[in-house]
A and B are shown apart, each in its own frame.
Chain A
Amino acid sequence: MRGSVSLRDRLNTTVRDIPRSGIRDFFDIVSTMRDVISLGIGEPDFDTPWHVRESTVFALERGATHYTSNYGYLELRRALANYVRKNFGAEYNPENEVLVTVGVSEALDLALRALLNPGDEVLYHEPCYVSYRATILFAQGIPLAVETKAENGFRLTRAMLEAKATPKTKVLMLNFPNNPTGAVMSRSDLEDIAAFARERDLIVITDEIYGELTYDSPHTSIASLPGMAERTIFLHGFSKAWAMTGFRLGYACGPAELVEAMMKIHQYTMLCASSLSQKAAIEALTRPEFDVTAMVDEYRRRRNFLVASFAEMGLESHRPLGAFYAFPSVAKFGIPARDFALKFLEQEKVAVVPGTAFGECGEGFVRCAYATSLDNIREAMARLQRFIGRL
């Protein structure tokens, strides 16, 4: 507080009452320590592919430094529509069904704001990405968390949704491959969910930012299932598969009416995504396969390494099938996940994120991101084994 004015009372109550992200909380602790091996980083350790970086410099030199169309460069939207058709099996018209955004983060916010009236309910599954609940609340929606379970591979089932849905439920949010669990959904898993969404006339927002990163079987997008494209907003971006987090570039694809509504908010609040990042994205899409495949192979090796290490030290973990996260259970040690993570950090200087940062049902789990070198992972696992031996 500065002087006598109490600003806290002036704040929007939703904003005031939302706690800070549990990630942020943990970051503040970790960042006071030196020489920490971090399994807490939710972004690729690979460099942005050199051809992308190099072409960004070129774009800067050529003067791609102006506002772009609100939707984004048409050339980029064309390339995106192409990419989504080829890799996710859904068709979109680049003229009016694709919107380029400032990361998937903005796209999520736009989608929810474009859809929700105060009091509309949004179904989403926990543990989940840290921003979902807050973004729903900011959009004046009512979050309905559906708990997914380790014994189920953290997959979502129709029965779980049925138990929570009410007549006021309007939107279903999905995120597979999942942050923080690494869970994926098979085609038949998704068909059940899709049938539910059609019967209840729900709009689906599907965050498939990790869609390229699956290790045992190819990814299926719910947007590609029959009768779904017309009720689905598909979100994807460049942060994960191309290691372009700092470029802040994502996009939404969906029926023209929905995309236009999102564009309206984007137009008034953001104008457009960064022109340079858009140029970089065009380059990324011109030869994506090689870079992405090599990264996927490396992530798979690390995933296998973690799974084998957990098994060797008797730590229970479902098999993570996508993204770059493992989510082992630490419940058997009888202390809260946050205490586990704090002690582990203090005693062994390894950072993992307590599962509670991703929803209350994350209690008993920690997220281990394997977006770090195998040397780091090997050392972290040796320390983990030593640590739990003492617990």
Chain B
Amino acid sequence: MDELLKILQNNALQSREDIARMLGVASAEVNERIKDYEQRGVIRGYQAILNEDQLDLDKVTAVIEVKVTPQREGGFDVIANRVSRFPEVRSAYLMSGGYDLLLFVEGRSLREVASFVSEKLSPLEGILSTSTHFMLKTYKRFGVLMHQENTDERLSITP
């Protein structure tokens, strides 16, 4: 992967000047390349990684395994795109193995998620079955530990 993308994926807030220093190029070039990635849709947005457990939110997240029948034309894409359009669905993946789609669904309460599953998701044509698991606690998201103490035990000067 392009160094520029790695740097952004690590910390998208890095200033363009700093990124330019890290890459050893002019910052105008960095701006241009980022704009190009944005226009091509490679970069689809920038978000903060939150430790939501600290925020006391009225929110539950469910991971839902979904079995579907692929359509004659378009295979899994038709149904997957359809499901993905619900705002409750935060992430959706096509999977290998025992089920087909993996969904991350958010709602304000267990009841809300349950009603999404029973009233919106399950009745869709092509959905064979669902299996819903509620998330209890987050330890790590997007490669970031949620409970890391700062433990630099190095001496301040070493050879």
In the complex formed, the residue of B with least CB distance to A373 is B152
**A179, B159: Cα distance in complex, Å:** 9
The range of chain A's interface size is: 20 to 34
In the complex formed, the residue of B with least CB distance to A358 is B159
> Does B6 touch A at the CB level, under 8 Å?
yes
**A278, B121: Cα distance in complex, Å:** 54
Q: A384: shortest Cβ distance to chain B, in Å?
A: 14
Most B CB contacts (10 A, CB to CB) among A26, A30, A38 go to A38
Contact between chains at B155 and A307 (CB < 8 Å): no
> Does B158 touch A at the CB level, under 8 Å?
yes
Contact between chains at B157 and A351 (CB < 8 Å): yes
> Does B23 touch A at the CB level, under 8 Å?
yes
Q: Which residues of A are found within 8 Å of B3, using beta-carbon distances?
A: 297, 301
> Does A353 touch B at the CB level, under 8 Å?
yes
Q: Which residues of B are found within 8 Å of A26, using beta-carbon distances?
A: 157
Residues 56-103 of A at the B interface (beta carbon under 8 Å): none
Q: Which residues of B are found within 8 Å of A308, using beta-carbon distances?
A: 20-21, 24
Known: A297-B3, A297-B6. A302 touches B22 (CB 8 A): yes
Q: Which residues of A are found within 8 Å of B152, using beta-carbon distances?
A: 45
Given contacts A27-B158, A30-B156, A301-B22, could you give 18 more A-B pairs where the C-beta distance is less than 8 Å?
Answer: A27-B156, A27-B157, A31-B157, A38-B157, A40-B156, A41-B154, A41-B157, A42-B158, A43-B154, A179-B159, A297-B3, A297-B6, A302-B22, A304-B22, A308-B20, A308-B21, A374-B14, A374-B22
The residues of B with any CB-CB pair to A shorter than 8 Å are 3, 6-7, 14, 18, 20-24, 152, 154-159
The residues of A with any CB-CB pair to B shorter than 8 Å are 21, 23, 26-27, 30-31, 36, 38, 40-43, 45, 129-131, 179, 245, 297, 301-302, 304-305, 307-309, 351, 353, 374, 378
